[in-house]
Each structure stands twice: as C-alpha cells, then as structure tokens.
Chain A
Amino acid sequence: GQNIDQPTEMTATEGAIVQINCTYQTSGFNGLFWYQQHAGEAPTFLSYNVLDGLEEKGRFSSFLSRSKGYSYLLLKELQMKDSASYLCAVLDSNYQLIWGAGTKLIIKP
C-alpha cells in the first residue's frame, strides 16, 4: 500500500532551526508537496520538489531524495507564527495526492 510517514509532533524554540522529515512509499512518484496548516484553517502551499536536491525559499527550504523516498522541510529563524501543522503529500503515478498525517510544530519563546 501507499504510505507517508512524518513525526506527529515537534517542539522548537523561537529563532532556532527545525527540520521536519517525511518518508514515503508510493506507487510511482510525480513530486512531493509541503503544506502548512494552521489550526482550523485550510492548508497553504509551501513547496514542491520533483528532482533531488534542496529548494530554498526564504526561511523555508525543502529537500528531496527520490532514491531514499525521503524529504525534509527546514525552517530557519523560527517565529511564533510558524506554529502549525506541516503536511507532506506525494503525487503518485496517477497524479493522486497521498497525504501524510502532518507534523504539529510547537514554537516556544
């Protein structure tokens, strides 16, 4: 079956750096998305990786290794507003999105 794993919850300190990992096993691969979701709100798009390597976008970076079925989202200079759930989702061979359960990130002052 198809499976996406990411940690349930992580805690980090304001101003620090945190890395949220995601491993996947899917039928085919057409890219990996990271979304941010604040409580009670809809997900918002953060990044998309389809080739191996690191994509940097401001304070957020996303890495992909297709051979390892692995991605991470790196958040730098953490701010209190970064407290949210971070969802990893993979586009499978049928272009269907397979979602992870999300990682709840708690930022402490």
Chain B
Amino acid sequence: GAVVSQHPSRVICKSGTSVKIECRSLDFQATTMFWYRQFPKKSLMLMATSNEGSKATYEQGVEKDKFLINHASLTLSTLTVTSAHPEDSSFYICSARDLHGADNSPLHFGNGTRLTVT
C-alpha cells in the first residue's frame, strides 16, 4: 500500500528556534500534500495545501511566514515552524494523495510529528 514517511516523529525545541518536518511519499508521487495540525481531542485542522513546484495555499488564520512550506519534488514536502513558541506545541500530520489517483481517492497519512516547544 501507499506509504507516507514523516520525520521526525517527536521533537523538543527551545522557544525561538526553528524546526523542520519532512513528509515523503515512498512508493507514489504526489503533486499535492496536506499539512494538518491536531490539538488533543480535537479534529484535524488543515493548515495548508502544499503544491509541487509552486507556492503553498494556506488556510485562513495560518501565518505563512511562520509555517514555511516547501514542496520541491513529487515525493517531498517540508514544513518549517519558524521562531517556535510554546503555543506551537502540537501534533502535526502530513498527508498525500497519489498523483494518479482520483480526486476522491483516500489520503495517505504520515505518522505525525509531536512538537514540544519549551
């Protein structure tokens, strides 16, 4: 089956530093990847849609200068949390849809990254 690898799974960083999270589709290509944030006992919140070779599309209320997204190839998207603060602590999950799949094909998720900012 389609596999999405997300790294790191856990990261602890100090306030003011930046953290990069990688999302790779291992056995398929994806022109579009999605970055979600999830708070405890809450729904997945779409942060942005990452588009290969072009700028990401950010959801309302998500600061694009704080959450930098780069989708440099058909198998890799990165999310960089810049100048992290404790309120950025959360569970971040990426997902991707197979380039050759239909628009209604299921998303494949990475295993998520637990970010803790101290």
Q: Which residues of A contact B (CB under 8 A)?
A: 8, 30-31, 33, 40-45, 48, 50, 87, 91, 95-97, 99-102, 104
- Are A41 and B44 in contact (CB-based, < 8 A)? no
A99-B43, A99-B44 given as contacts; is B106 within 8 A of A33 (CB)? yes
- If over half of A's interface residues share one DSSP class (helix, strand or loop), that class is named, otherwise mixed; here it is loop
Q: Which B residues, 62 to 84, have Cβ-Cβ distances below 8 Å to chain A?
A: none
Minimum distance in angstroms from A32 CB to a CB of chain B: 10
Please indicate the chain B residues that have their CB under 8 angstroms from the CB of A42 in the complex: 6, 93, 95, 109-112
Q: Are B43 and A30 in contact (CB under 8 A)?
A: no
9 inter-chain pairs at a CB distance below 8 angstroms, sorted by A residue, are A42-B93, A42-B109, A42-B111, A44-B109, A87-B43, A91-B104, A97-B46, A101-B43, A102-B43
Contact with A along B75-118 (1 / 0, CB 8 A): 00000000000000001010100000001101111111010000
Check B104 against A101 for contact (C-beta < 8 Å). Answer: no
The answer to whether B104 touches A41 (Cβ under 8 A) is no
Q: Which residues in B have their C-beta under 8 angstroms from that of A101?
A: 41-43
Q: Which A residues lie within 8 Å of B111 (CB)?
A: 41-42
Q: Which residues of B contact A87 (CB under 8 A)?
A: 43-44
Q: 5 closest pairs, A vs B, by CB?
A: A42-B109, A101-B43, A45-B106, A95-B103, A99-B43
Which residue, of B34, B104, B111, has the highest number of chain A Cβ atoms within 10 A? B104
